[in-house]
Structure 1
Amino acid sequence: MSDLTPNHNPGEALEPIDAERLASLAQKNQENPAGGKKQIKTHTEADGQFRNYTQIRDLEPVLVAEPPQLLGDNAAGNPTEVAQAALASCISVGIQAIATHRGVTLTRIAIDIESDIDISAVWGVGDLDEDKRTGVSDVRVKIELEGDADRETLDKIQRDAVKWSPVVNTYTRPANLTSELV
């Protein structure tokens, strides 16, 4: 076991998802694609010194903060790091679902992501050149997969997971976003 994955022993099959429920969910969404359209709601409140707590469903609030070099207290990952963690997690979920659907047993999914970001605008108080692209510009994803399939099959699984990942598609085909003061 590793400290990062306390429920998994290296070399052992990952704890499986329910293949029958996955097939049922897939069938339901094939029969009624419009039924797959949902709303995701979160609520975030600032706690000071760039610490923010976000309520997701009925789970414990998620803390997001900034590191000292960005005037925070290093209490948690910053917003971009958390987005990157969500990206990796979404790809991982897709990999496990696709592998399960295709009858492949996986013993390892590990994802490293590196991205480039220009933070010189400093939240709208720094370099405000109108041509500046704030946010992440380039993302490099490296995926390690091990299981009972050949490299070609594992590569197809990861490519399909990336293609159909909702978070990948949010990165590559950004959503329409509006804001309003209420």
Structure 2
Amino acid sequence: MTKTATATVATPLRPISKDGLIALAEKAKANPNVIKSLPVTTVCEGQFRNLTYVRDLPAHVIDEPPSLLGEDTAPNPSEAVLASLGSCLSVGIHANATMRGITLTKLELHLEGDINITGVWGIGDLSEKRLGFTDIRVKVDIEGDASREELDALVAHSNIWSPVANTLRNPVSVEVGLA
């Protein structure tokens, strides 16, 4: 932000190509039933530190905090879920703002999730309980050249269409077995 004698000027976020978004939307509309598989590989380095490889990117590190016997070198798996949700919502909000002609100058998402960890991966308290997050709260701190009502509608629309939010909201088949 730049402050002048009379006003504060907000710097827009790095823009997204609206033409690129339109082309992407048209491609999706032309073939709405495409399902894409997203392969990743996770390798345990030792203790609870894991390296996950996606495309040709450097390894994405996941670890546990010392309270869960990790080395505290990276987010734990549950924190990574919240990070994925926050990033997915942010991408959707920014893309939809661009399509609606809204220039954003601030987009921060603050996430918090409630989780019972007493089962500690099936070796702790094994009494019946809900596993995983029971509640997730997301607060979006957003600024741009739109009214509060327009920004609220933008966030609500992006939440409805977020793939990660819907993965968390809806049942999904998960198969785990030996290779």
TM-score, normalized by length of structure 2? 0.93
Identity of aligned residues (%): 47
List gaps (5 residues or longer) in structure 2: 2-8
Q: Give the AA of the match of 2:171.
A: P
CA distance in 2, matches of 1:105, 1:172: 29
1:47-91 deviations in Å (ceiling 9; x for gaps) = 111000000100000110000000001011100001100100000
What is the CA RMSD across the aligned residues, in angstroms?
1.2
Q: Which residue of 1 aligns with 2:96?
A: 98
Aligned to 2:5: none
Give the 3-state SS of the residue equivalent to 1:21 in structure 2: helix
Q: Which amino acid aligns with 1:152?
A: E
Distance (whole Å) between structure 1 residues aligned to residue 67 and residue 176 of structure 2: 28
Pairwise CA distance, 1:134: 1.1
**Does the residue aligned with 1:141 lie in a helix, a strand or coil?**
strand
**How far, CA to CA, are the matches of 1:174 and 1:56 in structure 2?**
24
Amino acid at match of 1:98: N
Structure 2 match to 1:128: 126
Q: CA deviation at 1:11?
A: 2.2
**SS of equivalent residue, structure 1 residue 33:** coil
Q: How many residues align?
A: 172
Normalised to the residue count of structure 1, the TM-score between the two structures is 0.92
Distance 2:72 2:27 in 1: 43
For 1:4, the equivalent position in structure 2 comes to none
- Give distance in 2, aligned partners of 1:157 and 1:14: 16
Aligned to 2:87: 89
Q: 5+ residue gaps in structure 1? A: 2-9
Rounded to whole Å, the distance in 2 between the matches of 1:154 and 1:15 is 18
After TM superposition, which residue ranges in structure 1, 4 or more long, deviate above 4 angstroms?
A: none
